[in-house]
Amino acid sequence: MQFGPIWRALMRNKTGAILIALQVAVTMAIMVNAISIIQTRAEAMARPSGIDEPNIFYISSIGFNDAFNERVAVEEDLAALRAMPGVVDALQTNSVPLSGGGWSMGLQTEPGDDMDGVGVAVYFVDDHALDTYDLELVAGEFFSPTDIEWREGSSSTWPDRTVITVAMAEALFGEDEWRSGVGKTVYINNNEPMTVTGIIDRMQAAWNGWDGVERTMLVPQRTLFGSSRYIIRAEPGLRDELMPQVEEMLAQSNKDRIVRGLRTMEETRERSYRGDASMIKLLMFTIGLLLLITALGIVGLASFSVSRRTKQIGTRRALGATRADIAGYFMSENLLISGMGVLLGAALTVGLNMWMVDAFDLDRMEVWLVPAAMGVLLVVGQLAVFGPARRASSVPPAVATRTV
């Protein structure tokens, strides 16, 4: 097309063009940064927890009077749960992946108060953990029934063995050396030794926002904390049927405690990432609305420009312009304006991103988003101006002699 004269004509009427270009630029800056946030969140949400989420649910049991013998209750409960038809396996633990509440400790490879430890999430489990969670042991051995001890609420000491995740082994022994961790001694509470007997592939901690969310240790103990959680894995398809049965069974079997917090792992994931999921929806909505507003702005201004230039259009038609020429004129004009907008937008986007990375500790955006957004906005601009351009092309040539 004939960009030269279009550009010169545009320069005689800068304001409208500048406004649209600015609008496109700011829209692009918001859009790209919002998409970058969405990407980060979506990636975080896509990380597997390492356990058989679709079939796992859990429930808490809280003793509330002196008649409650926790040790007996836990043993009876576990026996009853494991015997229930439809239950694959069950165990007692202190906390649930992604639930938001749990224990963390530090492990270090050398003893000493002044050595730096690596933060790790702690789950107390018994020898049924592989089966109950559907974990994959990738090195060493798992706990045997004889390894399992009882832990009092106020206890401050630790058993002599632990199983950790690959991520934890990597943090302790190095990226490529993690396999060598089996059999090594690590220190908890600065000085207390524990032997790593096995390494499991993956199991997430309770806090999805923690940068060590993959660093987990399993400790072979059953707890006597007054309140305990039972993790139950159902056979595929039986979970929803089993849940009320389990709740009823536990409530009836012992009147000295209450059961509460019956929840599926799926719901836990949903709650855990609810903020992120909502943020994603909110941002997508924002982007959509913004594009719509920018498009409407383009439609509005282009319509004005068409009606302001009706006579000019007629004259051009009289001088031999075809309909396509006229439509093309407005489309090209928009391409120029949007083009300036996206160029400015690219700069603005990068600036905003640098500021957000700085102020909110966000991840830097991926570079390809910038050209992609430029393309999208150019297309949106062309779509928006299409209507007014078509109206322009249907201005009859006789307007040249008729309009004052």
Partner 1 sequence: MLSMQNISMVYRTDTVETHALRQFNLDVGEGEFVAITGPSGSGKTTFLNIAGLLEKFTSGRYELDGKDVSSLSDAATSRVRNEKIGFVFQGFNLIPDLNVFDNVDVPLRYRGFNGAERKQRIERVLDMVGLASRQKHLPAQLSGGQQQRVAIARALAGEPRFLLADEPTGNLDSQMAMSIMELIQEINRGGTTIIMVTHDPTLANLAGRNVHIRDGRVSDSDADTQLAEVAVG
Partner 2 sequence: MFNYYLKLGWLSLRANPLLSLLMVAAIGVGIGACMTILTVNYTMSGNPIPHKSDQLYHVQLDSWDANDPGEDGYNPPDQVTYNDAMALMNGAPGFRQVASNRSGLVLEPEGDDERPFSVDVRNTWADFFPMFDTPFLYGSGWDDTADTTREPVVVLSRELNERVFGGEDSVGRTVRMNGLNFRVVGVLDEWMVVPKFYDVTNGPFNETEEAFIPFNLAVDQELPRNGNTNCWKPPEGDGFEAFKNSECVWIQFWAELRDEQEKAAFSNWLDAYVAEQKELGRFPRPLNNRVLAVMEWMEDRQVVEDDAQVMLGLSFLFLVVCLLNTIGLLLAKFMRKTGDISVRRALGARRSDLFRQHMVEAGLIGLGGGVLGIALTWLGLRGIEVLFGEFVENLVGLDWVMMLTAVGLAIVSALVAGLYPTWRATRIMPASQLKAQ
321-325-329-330 Cα dihedral, nearest 10 degrees? 110
Give the integer Cα–Cα distance in Å for 101 and 400: 76
Angle at 215 between CA 210 and CA 217, to 5 degrees: 130
**142-150, 270-278, 321-329, 385-393 -> range binding partner 2 (CB under 8 A):** 270-278
> What is the per-residue binding string for partner 2 in 381-400, x denoting contact by CB under 8 A?
--------------------
Contacts of 84 (CB under 8 A, 6+ apart): 242, 245, 246, 249
**166-174, 215-223, 348-356, 390-398 -> range binding partner 1 (CB under 8 A):** 390-398
Structure-token match 């970058």, residue found: 36
Q: Are the CB atoms for 168 and 216 separated by under 8 Å?
A: yes
Q: Which of 48, 174, 193, 226 lies at the binding interface for partner 2 (CB under 8 A)?
A: 226
Nearer to partner 1, 155 or 403 (CB): 403
The conformational region for residue 286 under phi > 0 = left, psi -120 to 50 = alpha, else beta, is alpha
Q: Is residue 189 a contact residue for partner 2 (CB under 8 A)?
A: yes
Q: Select from 3, 5, 20, 14 the least CA-distant residue to 344.
A: 20
Nearer to partner 2, 23 or 55 (CB): 23
Q: Which of 24, 122, 231, 321 lies at the binding interface for partner 1 (CB under 8 A)?
A: 321
Q: Is residue 15 a contact residue for partner 1 (CB under 8 A)?
A: no
| CA dihedral sign, ordered 23, 24, 28, 31 | positive
Q: Is residue 13 a contact residue for partner 1 (CB under 8 A)?
A: yes
**163-171, 271-279, 307-315, 345-353 -> range binding partner 1 (CB under 8 A):** 307-315
> What is the per-residue binding string for partner 2 in 318-357, x denoting contact by CB under 8 A?
----------------------------------x---x-
Q: Output the smallest distance, CB 25 to partner 1, in A.
A: 24
Q: Output the smallest distance, CB 141 to partner 2, in A.
A: 28
Q: Is residue 263 a contact residue for partner 2 (CB under 8 A)?
A: no
Long-range contacts made by residues 109-112, C-beta under 8 angstroms, separation at least 24? 109/172, 109/173, 109/184, 109/186, 109/187, 110/187, 111/187, 111/190, 111/191, 111/193, 112/187, 112/190, 112/191
Q: Which of 141, 152, 235, 267 lies at the binding interface for partner 2 (CB under 8 A)?
A: 152
Q: Select from 58, 51, 50 the least CA-distant residue to 231.
A: 58
243 binds, among partner 1, partner 2, none (CB under 5 to 8 A by kind): none
Q: Which of 43, 322, 347, 354 lies at the binding interface for partner 1 (CB under 8 A)?
A: 322
Nearer to partner 2, 31 or 199 (CB): 31
CA atoms within 13 A on the CB side of 104: 20
Q: Which residues bind partner 2 (CB under 8 A)?
A: 15-16, 19-20, 22-23, 26-27, 29-30, 33-34, 37, 62, 64-66, 113-114, 116, 152, 154-157, 189-190, 226-227, 251, 258, 260, 274-275, 278-279, 281-283, 286, 289-290, 293-294, 296-297, 300-301, 304-305, 307-308, 311, 352, 356, 360-362, 404
